Structure 1
Amino acid sequence: MFGEDEDVFDSVTWDSPSAPHEADRHNAAPTGPGFRQSMDEGQDPHQPKWEGYLITSVRDPVKELPETKDAYVSYLVSAKTNLSMFSTSTTSSRRRFQDFVFLREHLVKDFPACVVPALPDKHRLEYLTGDRFSPEFMERRRLDLHRFLQRISRHPTLQRSTLLRAFFESTEWHVFMHQHLAHPPGPEPTPGLIDNLSDTLLNAFARVRKPDERFLDMREGVDKFEDSLVLCERLWNRIRNHNNDGNPESGEDLTADYHDLAVAVQGLGFLESGITDPLNHFSNTLLEFSALLRHKTHTINDPFLVHLHSLLTYSHANRAVLKLRDQKQLDFEELSDYLSGVTVERDRLSAVISGHAGSSGLGLSAYLKDKVDAIRGADDDRSRVEKMRKLDVRIKELQEAVTTAHETSDAFSDETLREQTVFQFAKEAEMKEMLSNLADGEIEFYQSAMEEWDRIIPIIQRIRVDV
């Protein structure tokens, strides 16, 4: 796995701020596969920066505690890196699926602005039928977990997280998990004014009033990409079912059709005694071609479909980050409107106290509010002064909240721009890998098929039938 000389990202430019000497960094040979170690003083601040490489693998699934109710599968996770935060350049440990779940959940919590890929679905039919320890299921799960770690290791922020380092290196992982739960890397968010107002101000149907064109284009690109993946997945599912759907009675299984044709040709050979041997050769070729179709389905088409679906879930995680960025902007807009409303109410009360109620310009709503206050006996100046005092306190809190929401929205937008660049790099790398494997598999299939048919053609041509 680590011996492959494949590019991680072909066009990544990164710098290492912790490097001691600029000249040494420029003159040194690249130490990371696929990373171009170059400096660009005019680099876009929205471009991500990698400090090194991290190559991961998930191998050797093993059933632990067999024949017990606590049986589970452990996987050997390995890493090769030149990141300074790792104690060694190569490390490995055994982890179970729940450890992967813990890793993802806390990466999402610790890095809300990062696109953290999803794990494979746990609620599968195999968990109900008892086949989750079958070699086929464990291999599919291993590939999904391998792809999950691969996506994290390509991320310039996630690859340097303390949690990920401990996931690979810690010999007391369970102790580290408890420590991480007791002492998270960042302070626990305390319910503030934004959180208190979110339930009343924000709702699922609210929309950003001043959308940023950059993120509108990104959302449109994500929509088109996901639509293309869904269409591609649907078409390849049809191709897969047409070639080998596992149900000979469906009439759409080419593998079964070629097998039936081979049996029929073999039966014809028994009837035609003069050409029995050539027909038997032809029947064997049909059987071989049927086996090639079945092999291609299980080794090429099925992994391609699984990777397509996995890439679609990865895109969903990217969409969730875009949605969260919109929510941050929406928080700022709603708080700004709320601050404006409270300020107007405070000015109205001030105008009433000063005897200039008519200058408030609030019209019918202010008039009705004054009448309600009069009925409740809260229309005297002392009540209004008390209300103004409370409103002044609320205005000060809202001004601080609006400033914080504005800074958070801007910072989240900048981080989202970097995340989209990282996602594009990861998507291109995965598409290249996925399509290369598909092309190699198709080439291998057709080359094997051509060899089989080339061997049988001379035999068929030598058949002579007296008419």
Structure 2
Amino acid sequence: MSTAGDHHPDDGFTSITWDQPPTSQHDPIGVYANNERPPLPESVPSSVDRAENRPMAMEGASREGEHTMPNWGGKWMAIQVREPTKEHEGSKEMFVSYAVRTITNLSGFPTTPVTVRRRFQDFVFLRDHLTRLFPACVVPPIPDKHRLEYIKGDRFSLEFIKQRRLDLQYFMDRLARHPTLQRSQLVNDFLQSTQWSVAMHKHLSTPSPDGRPSLLDNISDSLVNAFTKVRKPDERFIEMRESIDKYEEAMNGIDRLIAKERSRTEDLAQDYVDLAASYQGLGYLESGITEPLNRFAEKMLDFSTLLKELDSKTVEPFLSHCHSLVQYSQAHKSVIKLRDQKQLDFEELSAYLSAVVAERDRLAALNTGHSGAPVGISTFLRDKVDQLRGTDDIHTRRERIRKLDIKIKELQDAVTGAHETSTEFSEEIIKEHNIFELSKQAEMKEMMGAYADGQIEMHQRAIDDWDRIIPLLQKIKVDV
């Protein structure tokens, strides 16, 4: 199904593969004021930086242990949202802008990397207009401007901006993975244009592919609303919806378990603080082993700190990614629901055509002296009224037949168009489901890997700390 937007000649995708250029890292990045925008620390290179340093990876070279990103016919894109900066700080016009850095081998990008700055409203514009221009695509969601689940403080607080940057990173990563959206002119302008306000006005004037009125708009509401469900559901999309529901249920289950583990870890961290205080008190009573006991208490405090860092650096991003994936799957279900509406349009038009043809045949039968097929109560009552008014003559019926013939021709064309639209939309949804599954797998691998790495790092640091304190404890002499 063709969608609006400019496309490049290499937009054909005959196969789907996964190559090894790295995806974006989601490490929190600080907020800078007064237009100070320092680079990322060298210890945390971005996916774009690592891609630049490994050009062979961009051609599909496999590196074991690296995160995967999609390669569509040899074309790829990596985007990073970073360096949030407060603009016009102290004034009523204050807002936060983000650096959007892109590296890709798409032909629409003559030079890379390219960096532009965009504010949150620009991301909202991008998402809304991609949804309008590509109705058959699963356009990834972004959090609502006024969403408050994760806010600690106002919308200019470090915690709020940190979470928003992470959500915008998820959004751009998914656009970069999508073979259609990544090549759209709107995304191209968003990632490159130095005159973004001009580009926005140009896209505002672009007509929507569904903007033209259809014959359904002229059908009475009583007929359009006669069917609330698809009469002939497609098993492929039923299974598709069921699989997404099961995935959401599983992700919500993981979310509950990790949240419970997080709560217990917070309690454990506090218990270690309390236990450290007890050992410090004991150290003052035991003059011969005061130093070892105090050092032991310090390690307990260090372990408590490690548990708190695990929560902020590993568990919290994991839960945030879980929520984002559930929202992404809900966006997919919305597109499947739109496909059902396309099929419902076809079924409604077909039923309307059948009713008009039956009425035309009935009038033709009356003109030839036959009684015609049985009619409903509404048609029977209308015929009786026409007889009472004296308008039920052969000339009136011929005029009605002529008008019905015109309506039948219009409906036949509309039914054919609705069927083609429904079929093409269904084919696009199957492709979109494949893209969604691949993107979901990549994100799940990245999310689980980051969670495992965080746990391993925390426990390794804890082991090292306890190993250093053991020799000191072993030197304690106990008289038996």
Q: Same fold (TM over 0.5)?
A: yes
Contact 1:81-1:90 at 8 Å conserved across structures = yes
- Find the counterpart in structure 2 of residue 431 from structure 1: 444
- Find the counterpart in structure 2 of residue 219 from structure 1: 241
- 1:447 equivalent to 2:466? Answer no
Per the alignment, do residues 50 and 321 of structure 1 end up closer, same or farther by CA in structure 2, a change over 3 Å counting? farther
- Find the counterpart in structure 2 of residue 24 from structure 1: none
Contact 1:126-1:132 at 8 Å conserved across structures = no
Structure-to-structure mapping, 1:84-123, within 5 angstroms: 84-123=107-146
Shift, 1:126, TM fit: 9.4
- 1:189 equivalent to 2:211? Answer yes
Shift, 1:258, TM fit: 1.1
- 1:327 equivalent to 2:349? Answer no
Structure-to-structure mapping, 1:130-145, within 5 angstroms: 131-145=154-168
Shift, 1:179, TM fit: 1.6
- 1:339 equivalent to 2:353? Answer yes
Per the alignment, do residues 179 and 443 of structure 1 end up closer, same or farther by CA in structure 2, a change over 3 Å counting? same
* Aligned counterpart for 1:32 among listed residues 58, 78, 88: 58
Contact 1:11-1:35 at 8 Å conserved across structures = no
Shift, 1:313, TM fit: 0.7
Shift, 1:370, TM fit: 2.7
Whole-Å separation in 2 of the counterparts to 1:378 and 1:340:
25
- Find the counterpart in structure 2 of residue 392 from structure 1: 405
Structure-to-structure mapping, 1:395-406, within 5 angstroms: 395-406=408-419
Shift, 1:64, TM fit: 0.2
- Find the counterpart in structure 1 of residue 87 from structure 2: 64
Shift, 1:272, TM fit: 2.3
- Structure 2: runs of 5 or more not aligned: 1-14, 20-54, 63-70
SS of the residue corresponding to residue 419 of structure 2 reads: helix
Per the alignment, do residues 126 and 180 of structure 1 end up closer, same or farther by CA in structure 2, a change over 3 Å counting? same
Whole-Å separation in 2 of the counterparts to 1:354 and 1:389:
16
- 1:229 equivalent to 2:251? Answer yes
Shift, 1:465, TM fit: 4.5
Shift, 1:85, TM fit: 1.9
- Find the counterpart in structure 2 of residue 248 from structure 1: none
- 1:303 equivalent to 2:317? Answer yes
* Aligned counterpart for 1:360 among listed residues 370, 373, 378: 373
Whole-Å separation in 1 of the counterparts to 2:183 and 2:375:
55
Contact 2:151-2:160 at 8 Å conserved across structures = no
Whole-Å separation in 1 of the counterparts to 2:308 and 2:153:
26
* Aligned counterpart for 2:273 among listed residues 246, 254, 259: 259
* Aligned counterpart for 1:168 among listed residues 191, 194, 197: 191
Shift, 1:135, TM fit: 2.4
Contact 2:279-2:297 at 8 Å conserved across structures = yes
- Find the counterpart in structure 2 of residue 4 from structure 1: none
* Aligned counterpart for 1:54 among listed residues 69, 72, 77: 77
Letter in 2 for 1:215: F
- 1:234-275 superposed Cα distances (whole Å, 9 cap, x missing partner): 11111112222xxxxxxxx22111111111111121122232
- 1:413 equivalent to 2:426? Answer yes
Shift, 1:322, TM fit: 0.9
Structure-to-structure mapping, 1:272-291, within 5 angstroms: 272-291=286-305
Letter in 1 for 2:286: E
SS of the residue corresponding to residue 114 of structure 2 reads: strand
TM-score, with normalisation over the residues of structure 1?
0.84
Shift, 1:49, TM fit: 5.1
Letter in 2 for 1:212: D
- Find the counterpart in structure 1 of residue 228 from structure 2: 206
* Aligned counterpart for 1:312 among listed residues 323, 326, 330: 326
* Aligned counterpart for 1:292 among listed residues 288, 295, 306: 306
Whole-Å separation in 2 of the counterparts to 1:328 and 1:298:
45
SS of the residue corresponding to residue 360 of structure 1 reads: coil
Per the alignment, do residues 165 and 121 of structure 1 end up closer, same or farther by CA in structure 2, a change over 3 Å counting? same
Shift, 1:287, TM fit: 0.4
Per the alignment, do residues 50 and 376 of structure 1 end up closer, same or farther by CA in structure 2, a change over 3 Å counting? farther
Shift, 1:149, TM fit: 0.8
Contact 2:227-2:348 at 8 Å conserved across structures = no
Whole-Å separation in 1 of the counterparts to 2:173 and 2:136:
19
Whole-Å separation in 2 of the counterparts to 1:95 and 1:333:
44
TM-score, with normalisation over the residues of structure 2?
0.82
- 1:11 equivalent to 2:17? Answer yes
Whole-Å separation in 2 of the counterparts to 1:203 and 1:168:
43
- 1:51-89 superposed Cα distances (whole Å, 9 cap, x missing partner): 611111111110000100110011111111111122323
- Structure 1: runs of 5 or more not aligned: 1-8, 14-28, 37-47, 245-252
Q: Percent identity?
A: 54
SS of the residue corresponding to residue 363 of structure 2 reads: helix
Whole-Å separation in 2 of the counterparts to 1:129 and 1:280:
36
Shift, 1:461, TM fit: 4.1
How many residue pairs get aligned? The number is 423
Letter in 1 for 2:413: E
Deviates more, 1:125-134 or 1:63-72: 125-134
Whole-Å separation in 1 of the counterparts to 2:110 and 2:223:
48
Letter in 2 for 1:190: R
- 1:392-451 superposed Cα distances (whole Å, 9 cap, x missing partner): 222111111100000000110111111111111111111111111011001001111112
Per the alignment, do residues 77 and 204 of structure 1 end up closer, same or farther by CA in structure 2, a change over 3 Å counting? farther
Letter in 2 for 1:447: Q
- Find the counterpart in structure 2 of residue 243 from structure 1: 265
Deviates more, 1:196-205 or 1:139-148: 196-205
Contact 1:328-1:405 at 8 Å conserved across structures = yes
Taking only aligned residues, the RMSD between alpha carbons, in angstroms, comes to: 2.6
- Find the counterpart in structure 1 of residue 45 from structure 2: none
- 1:147 equivalent to 2:170? Answer yes
SS of the residue corresponding to residue 32 of structure 1 reads: helix
SS of the residue corresponding to residue 61 of structure 1 reads: strand
Letter in 1 for 2:201: H
Whole-Å separation in 1 of the counterparts to 2:272 and 2:390:
92
Contact 1:289-1:449 at 8 Å conserved across structures = yes
Whole-Å separation in 2 of the counterparts to 1:129 and 1:446:
29
